[in-house]
Amino acid sequence: MEAMEPTIPSVLERQRQFLAGGAAREISYRRRALERLAEAVRRHEAAIIEAMRQDFRKPEFETYATEIGFLLSEIRHALKHLDEWSRPVKVKTPVTHFGSASYIHSEPFGVVLVIAPWNYPVNLSLGPVIGAIAAGNCVVLKPSELTPHTSEVVAELCRDAFEPEHVCVVQGDAETSQALLRERFDYIFFTGSTRIGQLVMEAAAKQLTPVTLELGGKSPCLVHGDAQLELSAKRIAWGKFLNAGQTCVAPDYLFVQRGVKPKLLEALARHAAELYGADVLRDGSRFAGIVSEGHYARLTGLLAATRGRIVYGGSGDAEARVLAPTIVDEVGWDDPLMEDELFGPILPVVVYDELEEALAMIRSRPKPLALYVFTESDAVQRRVTDTVSFGGGCVNDTIMHIASPYLPFGGVGASGIGSYHGKASFDLFSHRKSVLRQTSRFDIPFRYPNAKNALQWMKRFLK
């Protein structure tokens, strides 16, 4: 007789019992768990690469760079700093609290739910798990059903690395996510679309559960007239067409100063071909596919409806779910390509004449997850980064800000709530508990209402 899969309530009960035992909070246990995770990632490297090839033709180079290598780097960083992050932090104590000392303790929230997306199905599943277990939590991980082969490898990897009462993977479709959200968790971490993020936040509000939402939006890429066009084009083409554009921080549209547009577009097309291949429909060694038929149909439908002019790419293979890197010029703000986040290898191009005109248009739209500006002018760099609100970004580059463990990654407004990576991950999954340690060797009497001249002493002291 086959063993039955544990129910969601039983999984949670088992994790709460494990938390109560205290092992997950021990620094030595957290360290061993992170080390086992790194070992499991290495052991499953070939399986990860093959699973992602099966799910959406992701090239081996991209899989290692953006999934495997990224995770191993995050784990190394956490292991290096875990002792430092975990120590109580002594802070100043005001003179009114004479005789006492003040500390901030980082304690785990408890049982954390991580709901992961499909576009980077290993990185965005296990990346948050690193921070959660470093902070001493237990984790229930729900990977995406749109990448079934990779999700199964993630589940196997977690079974290999963790006790199930510490980290447990629950697979399933949207109904499974809904069932999980009906349970009481101590923290919820969600990566995905703004629409689903709203539903997650609504469900969390019923339990007063804190949430982190890593969402998206239309991230602008602004190229000013003084930019180094060749290098700018290469870095934009790389960042936009990485993972076939299915990256939450990919440049969603190109905002270029009118005078340099012809040269920039010519360089973009050339670098796209050099980086990813001139015929990606037949050669998939460097270029990923689209994750599902539905996503492919949405993207080709947008291309068919655009009022812009395709100046590069535009071809596709529906059976293989591959859409070539595509650049669309002469796009207006009311074009279908400019309505929602594209999440695919389509780059609409909009022009501006004056910088303030461009900034006003960007500020008029929802706050993006990322922003990129290419310029050699310090004044323009400061003007853009100081006056536009966005989650994070780069000056004269794309994507690379998310690869630094020293830079918190997250959105603002419609693009998300909360940030992680590096120490920010540890802090995100930790409650900062304030503790005042008071002396018992003496007692200051004037704080008590029965002390002689208590009010006068209180007024004098607090001044």
Q: What is the pLDDT of residues 271-321, one digit of tens each?
A: 999 999 999 999 989 999 999 999 999 999 999 999 999 999 999 999 999
- Structural contact between residues 64 and 34, judged by C-beta atoms closer than 8 angstroms: no
- What is 8-215+415-435's CATH number, 3.60.20.10, 3.30.70.270, 3.40.605.10, 3.40.190.10? 3.40.605.10
Average pLDDT over residues 20-35: 97
Q: Which helix (H) or strand (E) holds 115?
A: strand 111-115
Average confidence score pLDDT of the chain: 95
Examine the pLDDT at 4 and tell me if it is beyond 70.
no
Examine the pLDDT at 172 and tell me if it is beyond 80.
yes
pLDDT interval class at 453 (50, 70, 90): confident
Examine the pLDDT at 2 and tell me if it is beyond 60.
no
CATH fold of the domain at 220-410: Aldehyde Dehydrogenase; Chain A, domain 2 (3.40.309)
- Structural contact between residues 359 and 383, judged by C-beta atoms closer than 8 angstroms: yes
Q: Which of 214, 221, 341, 394 is catalytic?
A: 214
Examine the pLDDT at 3 and tell me if it is beyond 80.
no
Q: Where are the domains of the chain?
A: 8-215+415-435, 220-410
The tokens describing 161, both together, are 């690395």
Average pLDDT over residues 387-407: 97
> What was the pLDDT predicted at 254?
98
- Structural contact between residues 182 and 382, judged by C-beta atoms closer than 8 angstroms: no
- Judge if 8-215+415-435 and 220-410 fold alike in CATH terms: no
Q: Which of 138, 158, 248, 394 is catalytic?
A: 248
Residues whose CB is less than 8 angstroms from the CB of residue 120 and which lie 6 or more positions away in sequence, other chains included: 66, 67, 243, 247
pLDDT interval class at 96 (50, 70, 90): confident
Region for 364 from its dihedrals, namely left if φ exceeds 0, alpha if ψ lies in -120 to 50, beta otherwise: alpha
pLDDT interval class at 448 (50, 70, 90): confident
Examine the pLDDT at 412 and tell me if it is beyond 60.
yes
d(CA 149, CA 177): 18
Known catalytic residue at 168: no
Known catalytic residue at 107: no
Examine the pLDDT at 19 and tell me if it is beyond 50.
yes
